[in-house]
Structure 1
Amino acid sequence: MKLRTLLALIAVIVVSSCSKTESPVSTAYQDSILYIGNGTEPKDLDPHTVTGVPESHILMALLEGLVIRHPEGLAPLPGVASSWDISEDGKTYNFHLRDSATWSNGDPVTSKDFVYAWKRMLMPSLGSKYPDMLYDVVNAENFNKGKIDDFSLVGVKSIDDQTLQVSLRNPAPYFIGLLAHYTTRPVHRATIEKYGEIDSLGNQWTRPGNFIGNGPFTLEEWRLNKVIKVKKSPSYWDAERVKLNEIHFFPIDNGTREDRMFRSGQLHVTSTVPLEKIGPYQEQYPNNIKIEPYYGTYYYRFNVKKEPLNNKLVRQAISLSIDRKQIIDKVAKGGQAPAFSFTPPDPNAYYPPTKL
């Protein structure tokens, strides 16, 4: 079956292990260590070059941006920035950074770290996949596309160590939300430049023993295709509220294998639940399966250069013939929402009324 868009709001199914027998997860639980199935092996842990979900999970533990995502999907919460002011015209943001925010080596996190990180992310030579996250910033797009090479013309300034000023081209009410994305997070300049240039790819700064982060955890171990371990950082500004001592991310690129590892007590959490297991899990363990909104758009592409798909009316007819709700209710069964647009439904944003 070919769909224009099958799913726009994908449900993440998280099942918490409930085995009471002695197992790896029960032992880890006693030591406040969390075992997570994390999909494929991360390609890197550079926030300015990676694009994958597995990488994003780990970077959430290692680095913190100006704001962080709300666990229930509401407005972003303060991160390194304890507060911010927005000008009346909606184009100037002043972020006030915490005095207590530090890197894992004890260096203070300052506004200059964000200026450096955003410059790096926007450098054409780095080849970041998400530079458009900052295109609302004055001259960010021009710098990224090589139209200007003077970064001082870009609308991000260090007013003082604790104040970062960002100037936008136009008002963008969604801008704060964009800053929760990992690609806008700071990086430790001295560490990056110790192992290469600002725009070096495959830089060794992301390896255990080298990585200097500002998040709630530090990178302790990375065994290829085995496990990535992060440990609670005592230098994190909000360390008292971090209840876990460690998180172990297991790279598993096979959904059936991950489900088997979960059921055998090797994982506390899995977000990869085979479709055929969702129904039985909901019936047998209703308190241990959690379905939450997850922004993602999955679709099939048409070759619109060949007949009959080069006819817009044919494509519209195919779209109208698909009962999305039936697919969700009878096949997927994971709490997905029918997709009628590439833009996922969001109560705080525009959603087109079309049903094609």
Structure 2
Amino acid sequence: MRDLHRIPFLCLGLAALMLACCGELRERADLVFVNSAEVETLDPALVTDQVSMRVSEALFEGLCRGTADGKAEPGCAERWEVSEDKKRYTFHLRAGLKWSNGEALTAHDFVRSWQRVLTPATASDYASQLYPLLNAKAFHEGTISDFAQVGVKALDDRTLETTLENPIPYWIDLTAFLTLAPVHVPTVEKFGGGWIKPDSIVTNGPYRIKDWRIDDFIRLTRSPDYWDRANVGMEVVDVLPISDANTALNYFMTEQADLLMDKGMLHPSIIPKLKEQPYFHTGPFLGTWFIRFNVTKAPFTDARVRQALALSVDKKRIVEKITQLGENTAFSLVPPGAGKDYQPPTGLDFDPKRARELLAEAGFPGGKGFPRIEYLHLPQTIERNIAVELQAMWRENLGITVNLVKQEQKIWLASMRELSFDMCRSSWVGDYNDPNTFIEMFTTGNGNNRTGWTNSRYDELIPAAMREADIGRRHAIFNEAEKLLVSTDPPIIPVYHYVGVQFYRENLEGVRANMIDNHPFRAMRWKKK
């Protein structure tokens, strides 16, 4: 493998050295990580993409934190008690918790931070992560205006009480999720949107941000005030935003980078060779690659059109010809293994004949009269190859023309939020191990819906599932809802369930495949020789 594309690897190494000599030299970090794009934001209340979360999670920590195995463990809270009815959780914070500016971190910071997430003006797409709290949804939607009625209160500086609407099996997992991490609200109020800049940001996590140069690097340094500083493995971490697969791989092969974790960093032509290498690691996780429709725009306002487009996609062809990592084709949004014993419904399979019938019923026989539409994708080789394959399938099976549009990640995210697209590639990684983390986001008005889709029956089913204590009945309700999502009235086309990818050498510890694809930098360290 060392001989694979040997000349480009060496050339890139020389080019990087020349750039370093011409620009500002900096000492190599203990860990150099290649991120697949520039970070959009570091604000826990606003971040939604995995690329940004990786960095923000190094800077902020909630009541619990994630482990290298993707589990939740005590973080800012050292312990908690649960009431008999499993609705009230009382968290006890560790003594001596500090913000990076030296101020004490208290339970009141959690209350103020969660209020900020739920305040509509914040525009947090992940505000619904707090909906399990009593009256949180009502406050976020403006039904009530008194935040004191929401189920979170500071009993004293070190005790936080949370009260839930209904018992749920994943509340502890949610307290490890980034949206629920505290922020230093006085700093947010002082600097506004600029509070995340290196010279103003105040954090509480295992790392501080030392430098951030857009489209170049982010440098993180171990925080001297972090409660578990002794167990943070790396003193300095550099995060490099590199979207090109060849460049990323060259950085790794020339040992300018130590870790890659994005499947988009793989060039399809060399995947078979990479799979043979000892530094190439894969594992299943709760993630699904899918396509979103903008159902507010014709012709996607017609469910028959959306069904026809879905039935025209040969998913097996995509995973065998392009992705090539043994991914399972997806006929549901929820991947296998999400929640104990949950069985997702089987959605729309490849059926070109039925697809043509539906398109004709919608008024476009043989594709005649169908408007020219666009498919939005990211600027990565594998994404481009999938886009070209989809374009061909829709042309061959339906007789329609789909133009391909490429956008950088930040613009792509904005396009989805603003519904400025026709169809676009998308993906979702479970925030916790339960079907709800996939299904809830398509309720009306959810910040992560990003399709414009609304279905009254679906909106009834999701809260009904949340109220249901019996696991079997709960799963049956979710199943009914997911049938609407992927078959009857689909705003999406599930295509395949992810296989996680990590490039790292055997002397790097603390990187392990896990079900939520979460890999905290603080858990990583080099083996001692």
Q: TM-score, normalised by structure 1?
A: 0.81
Q: How far did 1:175 drift?
A: 1.6
Which of structures 1 and 2 has the bigger CA Rg? 2
Q: Taking structure 1 as reference, are residues 266 and 31 closer, same or farther at Cα in structure 2, changes over 3 Å only?
A: closer
Candidates 128, 134, 156, aligned match of 1:132: 128
Give me the whole-angstrom Cα distance separating, in 2, the residues matched to 1:229 and 1:342: 36
| Deviation >6 Å, runs of 4+ | 22-25
Q: Does 1:219 align with 2:209?
A: yes
Q: Residue type of the partner of 1:295? A: L
Q: 51, 54, 59: which one pairs with 2:56?
A: 59
Q: 1:231 to 1:169 in 2, by over 3 A?
A: same
Deviation at 1:316, TM superposition (A): 8.2
CA distance in 2 between partners of 1:107 and 1:344 (Å): 43
User: 1:212 Cα deviation (Å)?
Assistant: 1.2
Query: How far apart are the structure 2 equivalents of 1:219 and 1:153?
Result: 36
- The answer on whether the counterparts of 1:93 and 1:166 sit within 8 Å (CA) in structure 2 is yes
**Cα distance in 1, alignment partners of residues 130 and 106 from structure 2:** 19
SS of alignment partner, residue 78 of structure 2: strand
2:270 partner amino acid: K
In the alignment, is the contact (CA less than 8 A) between 2:62 and 2:178 conserved in 1? yes
Confirm or deny that 1:183 pairs with 2:183: no
Kindly provide the amino acid, as one letter, of the partner of residue 346 in structure 1: G
Q: Does the 8 A contact of 1:64 with 1:185 survive in 2?
A: yes
Q: Does 1:36 align with 2:33?
A: yes
- Sequence identity of aligned pairs in percent? 35
Q: Does 1:251 align with 2:214?
A: no
Return the structure number with greater helix share: 2
Question: Quick one: which amino acid aligns to residue 327 of structure 2?
Answer: Q
Q: CA deviation at 1:277?
A: 2.7
Shift of 1:48: 0.6
> Which segment drifts farther, 56-65 or 186-195?
186-195
Checking the alignment, whether the CA contact within 8 Å between 1:344 and 1:351 is kept in structure 2 is: no
SS state at 2:225 partner: coil
TM-score, scaled to structure 2 = 0.56
- Match of 2:66? 69
1:292 maps to 2:289 = no
Q: Please list, as runs of the form range in 1=range in 2, the aligned pairs for 1:299-318 lying within 5 A after superposition.
A: 299-301=290-292, 305=301, 309=305
How many equivalent residue pairs?
319
Which whole-Å deviations, capped at 9, do the CAs of 1:257-316 have from their partners, x for residues lacking one? 222322233211112222333321121x2x211113343322134666569646x6x678
Counterpart residue number, 2:327: 336
User: Counterpart in 1 of 2:188?
Assistant: 192
Provide closer, same or farther for how the CA distance between residues 84 and 276 of structure 1 changes in structure 2, counting only shifts above 3 A: farther
User: Which of 335, 341, 345 matches 1:354?
Assistant: 345
**Match of 2:249, SS?**
helix
Partner residue in 2 for 1:276: 269
Alpha-carbon distance in 2 for matches of 1:351, 1:277: 36
Alignment partners' CA distance in 2, 1:113 and 1:316: 46
| CA RMSD between the two structures | 2.8
- Residue of structure 2 aligned with 1:122, choices 114, 118, 121: 118
Unaligned runs of 5+ in 2: 1-9, 18-26, 294-298, 348-529
Residues 319, 329 of structure 2: 8 Å contact kept? yes
Shift of 1:190: 2.6
Match of 1:101 in 2: 97
Deviates more, 1:293-302 or 1:336-345: 293-302
Q: 1:210 to 1:135 in 2, by over 3 A?
A: same
Check the 8 A contact 2:315/2:329 in 1, yes or no.
no
User: Conserved in 1, the CA contact under 8 Å of 2:191 and 2:200?
Assistant: no
